Structure 1
Amino acid sequence: MLTRTGSPFALIRATRKDMDRFRFPAVQTGLVLGPDQRGRPVAVEAFRPAPTHVVVIGSLRFAQLLGFRALALGAHLSIRSPVPTRWTVLTQQRGEPGARPRPELLLVDNVSSGPIEANPSLRPWSTVLSVRQDIEPADAEPLGRADLVLVQARPDGQATLLANALNLPESVASSFSTIPEGFVAVVHRRNVQWVRLTPTMVERHLIGDPFQTS
């Protein structure tokens, strides 16, 4: 069975049996990330009965991996990017919208420049996923308003900026620059958890290593 902890937008803890049934509807299982530091599988509620804003700070392949997993959950994917070709691996996988209601993911490519997308879609079960490779002081406000932030290891200056934007203590700022290899930080309302990304063979073939920046 799936169990939840904390707020209504908390991380979902699943059993290993649940992890094997990866194609459950998104509204039931959330988006699987991988195991935590104790080896317990973790997913996040990427789609809710309310508009949702998720910020991803890290590599392009990290964002592609999340988009690919959203497709696996049956979401309809739209992409807004100044360089559409770098998302070909996802656009080749997505199908046409079906007749039945589906969760929607708008992936906003801010990898190189431009402000973080701060205004999610107004429809229920719709999620905006904003992608940034690096953050700037101007990103502090939209970061603070995001429902969920997923972070790969940051340089010291960015780690401090991120912690301040998310109203986290200084001790957490230093941890953002020393995230264990293969892990990402999952931040929601001052709660921080480290989760190991576990790409499948198919994901590695299509996308590559989510921790490589080139």
Structure 2
Amino acid sequence: MPRLRIGSHSVSSTALTRLSPARYSAGLVLGADRRRTPVTVRMFRPEPGRIALVGGVWAGQLLAFRALALGARVTVVTAEPAVWNGLGPAALGRVDDRVEIRTEPGAVRPATAQRPTLLIHDVPPAALNTALPEQPWQTRLTIVRRLEPAAWPTLKQSGLCLLQRLGAAESSLAQHALRLPQESARFLQVMADDMLTMVGTDGDRHLWLHQTDLERQVLGPPRR
């Protein structure tokens, strides 16, 4: 799996602000729909939140990148720290304690409305520790690299599910776990690399991610 492209560039916080996704309705901009209308999610709330991402590390890093642009703190629990190392300097142009990469779960600093926390779990479903306490203004993003029956609880316990393109077997599992229409399940198999399907309480919605130049420079092109 390609690592972050660290070391060949740096950016100032001014440049980051200029190149980062705009803020609409106090939400994080995921992309745009087929009408080119911005698609946003309210990533952080006074109550704890859970998001499941069925896809690759690249998409998780993109969400982390955009959360940092909103002023959030990002903590990553991963079995592959080398894949995530350098995220802070790449996104912020400097070493910053707002980004923490660890291999074991544990307590995180309290989150606030001014400094919310995105807690990313990039570990196999069997290694997830769902007993860890959750807190206000903290959102837990669980990356499901491959959708298998063991990951069903993660999807069902999440208020929002984001899906990259899936294979046939994964698409069938997603259809049953999320109660998707047959047409949506078929579309999951043919989505472009730069697309996500968002499934929440209002049904499913397809969107294009529309990377900024800086995001493409740091993270590379869309992939799973």
Asked if these proteins are the same fold (TM beyond 0.5), I'd say yes
Report the equivalent of 1:95. Answer: 96
Of 29, 32, 52, 2:29 maps to 32
Q: Deviations over 1:104-153 (max 9, x none)?
A: 1111113x664566567521110011112211111112211211111111
Q: How far apart are the structure 2 equivalents of 1:190 and 1:120?
A: 28
Report the equivalent of 1:108. Answer: 121
**How many Å apart are 1:169 and its aligned residue?**
2.8
Distance 1:30 1:119, change over 3 A: farther
Q: Deviations over 1:28-60 (max 9, x none)?
A: 521111110111111111111111011111121
Of 138, 160, 175, 1:163 maps to 175
Q: Specify the code of the residue in structure 1 equivalent to 2:120.
A: L
Aligned pairs for 1:181-192 within 5 A? 181-189=193-201, 191-192=203-204
Report the equivalent of 2:70. Answer: 73
Do structure 1's residue 124 and structure 2's residue 124 form an aligned pair?
Answer: no
| SS of alignment partner, residue 62 of structure 1 | helix
| SS of alignment partner, residue 150 of structure 1 | strand
Do structure 1's residue 200 and structure 2's residue 212 form an aligned pair?
Answer: yes
Report the equivalent of 1:150. Answer: 162
Of 54, 58, 76, 2:55 maps to 58
User: Share of identical aligned residues, percent?
Assistant: 31
Report the equivalent of 1:6. Answer: none
Q: Does structure 2 conserve the Cα–Cα contact (< 8 Å) formed by 1:143 and 1:166? A: yes
Distance 1:188 1:119, change over 3 A: farther
Q: How far apart are the structure 2 equivalents of 1:113 and 1:140?
A: 9
Q: How far apart are the structure 2 equivalents of 1:23 and 1:195?
A: 16
Q: How many residues align?
A: 191
**How many Å apart are 1:74 and its aligned residue?**
0.3
Q: Specify the code of the residue in structure 2 equivalent to 1:96.
A: D
Q: How far apart are the structure 2 equivalents of 1:117 and 1:128?
A: 11
116-125 or 160-169, which moves further after superposition? 116-125
Q: How far apart are the structure 2 equivalents of 1:177 and 1:108?
A: 25
Distance 1:180 1:85, change over 3 A: closer
Q: How far apart are the structure 1 equivalents of 2:156 and 2:130?
A: 10
CA RMSD of aligned residues (A): 2.8
Q: How far apart are the structure 2 equivalents of 1:193 and 1:136?
A: 22
Gaps of 5+ in 2: 1-17, 99-108
Q: Which has the higher contact order (CA 8 A, sep 6+)?
A: 2
73-82 or 162-171, which moves further after superposition? 162-171
Do structure 1's residue 172 and structure 2's residue 187 form an aligned pair?
Answer: no
Q: Does structure 2 conserve the Cα–Cα contact (< 8 Å) formed by 1:121 and 1:128? A: no
| SS of alignment partner, residue 85 of structure 2 | helix
